[in-house]
Copies of this chain bind each other. A is one copy, B any other.
């Protein structure tokens, strides 16, 4: 299988494009998968799913579940319910993986928040098993520890997945989030058989911003090829999502963007 056959376009790479535009553009140029986001599906997931299928595209994952920690029990119950809804949506659009971003401590201590994340995952795991959806635990870069994810290393994600010990639990490796980690190669190998997603973008120097500072593959310092080969060597042969958060791309994206992505993908990933 050629690398391009594994390319998935995560739709937040161009937030201004509707789901329809994403599907049409990907279909036309031959990008075989999209990475979908819940808030982009609209009110009718079945309809969105039919539209994606009608263009012959696959869905590599749905973003996102998680965000388990909250200061009150009531709020934490709501988060669980929301994760159940996300699992259903993933099943409905044929996404094999629901990407899990654990959420910040949100008023809890780090230790308590991390325990809350594990509890939450354990609680919704049976729903995922029943729905045939894998919970893909994605560690985020430690610079998001305070605002987005108390799960910040692949080691942590591996430990969680080993605790969950279910075919419905795996890890998502995003190069932007893990490239800096001295343990990343060992932890990718440790994740053998449990890797359910691989995301790519790049880390520009200097990094222009925390949330929207990602770059196109090749415009930064991440050793993408090395990471991809490690993930492949650990047995992953599924879709590879291009997920770039960059306002400049949002502003300037046109038909040519997907060609650039394909070219950079082949050259650097």
Contact = CB atoms under 8 A, between A and B. Distances in A.
B182 A143 contact: no
Contact of A156 (B110, B155, B182, B223): B182
Contacts of A152: 180-182
Contacts of A143: 141-143, 207, 210
A39 to B, nearest CB: 20
Question: Can you tell how many copies of this chain the complex includes?
Answer: 2
Given A180-B152, A182-B153, A182-B156, A207 B146 contact: yes
Given A110-B179, A146-B180, 5 more contacts: A104-B205, A142-B142, A145-B179, A146-B205, A155-B182
16 contacts: A110-B179, A110-B180, A114-B182, A141-B143, A142-B143, A142-B180, A145-B180, A146-B207, A146-B220, A147-B206, A152-B180, A152-B182, A153-B181, A153-B182, A155-B182, A155-B183
Interface of A: 104-105, 109-110, 114, 141-143, 145-147, 152-153, 155-156, 179-183, 203, 205-207, 210, 220-221, 223
